[in-house]
Amino acid sequence: MKKKQRKCYLYTRVSTTMQVDGYSLDAQRDKLRKYADYEDMVVAGEYSDEGFSGKNIQGRPEFQRMLNDIQDGKDGVSYVLVFKLSRFGRNAADVLNSLQLMQDFGVNLICVEDGIDSSKDAGKLMISVLSAVAEIERENIRSQTMAGREQKAREGKWNGGFAPYGYKLENGNLVIAEDEVEVIRIIYDRYIHTNEGVAGVAKYLNRNGFVKKLRQNNTIPGFSRNFVQDVLDNPIYMGKIAYGRRRTEKKQGTRNEMHVVEQSEFPVYDGQHEAIISEEDWYLAQEKRKINSFKREKVNNPDHAHILSGILRCPCCGKGMYGNIAKAHGRDKKTRYYYYCKNTITASGHECSFRLNIDQAELNNAVAKIISAMVNKPRFAEAIQAKIGTAVDTAALEQQVEVLQGRLKQTFGTKTRLERQMDTLDIGDPHYDRKISDLQRRYDEQYDIMVEIESQIDELQSQIRSIRQEKISGDNIYRLLLAFDAVYNSATEAERKELMKAFIERIDLYPEKRKDGCWIRSIVFNFPMPVEGGEVKELSLESETTVETVCLLSKLKSTQHIEVELDMDELDLTDAEKKATYQEIKDYVLEHTGLKVSSLYIAQVKQKCGIIERENYNKPKSEDAKQPQCPPDKEKAIKEALKHFGMI
């Protein structure tokens, strides 16, 4: 009876397209086929990874395909043949896990050159030992390469990567780039000798005609605060060479995933390149950086918060308006709080003509009442309930992340191939110095590419998290809106500020206070506000009788809008001091009727008209005290004044 032939897979791998350890892919295949023929095995499939590192299995598509075929029982194989264990993998954990997976499906590993068969107890032990040795060898190669880069830094030479802005590379040496160096000097000069921070310096460069040169590691047009910050923190500009500012480290909680991490401490050596700024200026910049990094403590009333600070937009320049304080003075000794535009004076002169201070309490209460009237509409509450819990789609962004992760794996593979090429380069080669220099340059470039790709991945993942968090936050905000009155009335000013920031993007104001006492032109929300017939993001207050909500929906054409009307009566924006002062009412009555009226009479008429007073003028001083009642002619005159000022 003829013995049934055993089936096997052949797996081959090299780290570079060059021959490694004397055996190319073809040589490995030839050796494995001859072994299979000698052992009377049938080759059911061949898998080959060319130019992939053995440090993990994630970056080897053919290896993963082979494992998937084994799990599927595709060909009913009993063995996987590899030339040497190092071809199977150089990471001990991956080797043993992959082997265990294969054995779970009845497949063993044979390393032809090493004479190892995992179906035997001694073979599995040898695999454990040799895989650990292979991993140590890989780490030694990496350590030797990094040691070479550190030695270059000690010698004051540029140790790899793209030249920093302000410099260019010539024959591997840093040389000042004349078309970039002026920007570097201006950054240090303005940061040290003016009150500007990093954002202020960036704003100065962008506003004064300076153009940023775009190149490999500076692809974003314009000067950002991060660019200025990086320039100020880099000792390269004072003639020093830093080593290890960024290190490739394993991600916590993962087995083989790596990422580039900024280091807080790193060695600095004297460089051979020309400095752009003096050491004294560099250290002065560092001192200011430390001072500016501290969080400033609030020196005024700790219980007070400028609730709408940063949300309000100046009607003149469109920039954010912030809190202003008028310290206690005069008879009442009361500190007053206002909103104002701080963009009135900058380093380049006056930019905004808006000079008014707007009372904070007045504006805070007006916004709160508008929101309260809006969310207390029954149909609004129903629409919010329907909005909560709907799903979000991030598939397109996740696909982009997968593509970038693939590119990152390829870059890691390229870096590993270059490591192997440098390690196996013949020192007797007459062109050794030029070849090793070229390989080192290409090797260093991989780190910059990895940083760029990882930055793009982080940005996309941040967007995905932001979208998901926005959905979660949106649901939470919608729930808060359903109980807005109770939440807002019981919150501290600091909590009210956080609440407003959570669901309001900005509030646009009129350049002047309207006759009806309203400052607010429109309110733009962070989240679409569900209303009957669609979703809106902007409330526009354009008339004295209605609040018109106009929102351009993302799914509609530019000519399509949604309009929602709310009665202004529901907004209760008629506090006495928000419309006209007592003196203004007295002056109006005197001018139009010749009658003199007291504040007491005005308060009585307001009470009759349903206007709530901040101060109770009607309260008698004692139980027996009697207040004079407003005469009919004066009451009529006061009502006419209240109508004129839009209060009734």
Q: 336 pLDDT exceeds 50?
A: yes
- Orientation angle between helical segments 395-424 and 432-482, nearest 10 degrees: 160
Mean pLDDT of 149-177: 82
Q: What is the pLDDT of residues 21-36, one digit of tens each?
A: 456 788 888 899 999 9
pLDDT value at residue 574: 40
Query: How many Cα atoms sit within 13 Å of 508 on the Cβ side?
Result: 14
Are the folds of 6-151 and 167-293 the same?
Answer: no
Instruction: Tell which residue, 579, 533, 576, has the closest CA to residue 556.
Output: 533
Q: Which residue in 123, 103, 102, 105 sits closest to 114, CA to CA?
A: 123
**Better pLDDT: 542 or 553:** 542
Biggest distance spanned by C-alpha atoms of the chain: 131
Q: What is the CATH number of domain 6-151?
A: 3.40.50.1390
- What integer is the mean pLDDT of 334-346? 73
* pLDDT, average across residues 613-635: 60
Could you tell me which of 594, 599, 604, 588 has the C-alpha nearest to residue 640? Answer: 588
pLDDT of residue 127 exceeding 50: yes
What percent of the chain is modeled with pLDDT above 70? Answer: 69
User: Which residues have C-beta within 8 Å of that of residue 133, sequence separation ≥ 6?
Assistant: none
At 448-477, the pLDDT tens digits run 888 888 878 877 776 666 655 554 444 565
pLDDT for the residue numbered 133: 62
CA–CA dist 162, 172 (Å, integer): 10
Question: What integer pLDDT is reported at residue 451 of this predicted model?
Answer: 82
Distance, in Å, from the CA atom of 181 to the CA atom of 187, rounded to the nearest integer, reads 10
- Other C-beta atoms closer than 10 Å to the C-beta of 155 total 13
- Distance (Å) of CA 184 to CA 212, 238, 288: 11, 11, 17
Range in 149-163, 265-279, 466-480, 525-539 with the lowest mean pLDDT: 466-480
Lowest average pLDDT, out of 132-136, 190-194, 527-531, goes to 132-136
Residue with tokens 């329907």: 386
Going by the DSSP 8-state scheme, the letter that residue 594 receives in this structure is -
In the predicted model, is pLDDT for residue 102 greater than 70?
yes
Whether 496 has a pLDDT exceeding 80, the answer reads: yes
Q: Residue range 358-370: average pLDDT?
A: 88
Q: Look at residue 427 and tell me whether its pLDDT is greater than 80.
A: no
On the question of pLDDT at 275 being above 70, the answer is yes
What CATH architecture applies to the domain 167-293?
Alpha-Beta Complex (3.90)
Residues making up the chain, counted from first to last:
648
Higher pLDDT, residue 545 or 466: 466
Neighbour tally for 433: CB within 10 Å:
10
Strands 240-242, 268-270: pairing kind: antiparallel
Using CA atoms, how far apart are residues 64 and 73, in angstroms rounded to an integer? 14
Residues assigned a catalytic role? 15
The DSSP letter of residue 330 is T
> What is the identity of the amino acid at 549?
T
At residue 563, the pLDDT reads: 42
> What six digits make up the tokens of 8?
């096997």
List all residues 6 or more positions away from 32 whose beta carbon is below 8 Å from its beta carbon.
10, 12, 81, 82, 83, 112
* Torsion angles phi and psi, residue 371, rounded to 5: -65, -45
Is residue 354 a contact partner of residue 317, using CB atoms and an 8 Å limit?
A: yes
pLDDT at 66: 92
Assessment of whether the complete model's pTM goes beyond 0.75: no
Q: What is the pLDDT of residue 43?
A: 93
Which residue's entry shows tokens 């590379």? 169
Domain ranges of the chain: 6-151, 167-293, 304-316+367-571, 576-644
- Classify the phi-psi angles of 390: left when phi > 0, otherwise alpha if psi is within -120 to 50, otherwise beta: beta
CB 422 within 8 A of CB 443: yes
198-254 tens-digit pLDDT: 888 988 888 888 888 887 655 566 788 888 988 998 899 998 888 766 666 656 655
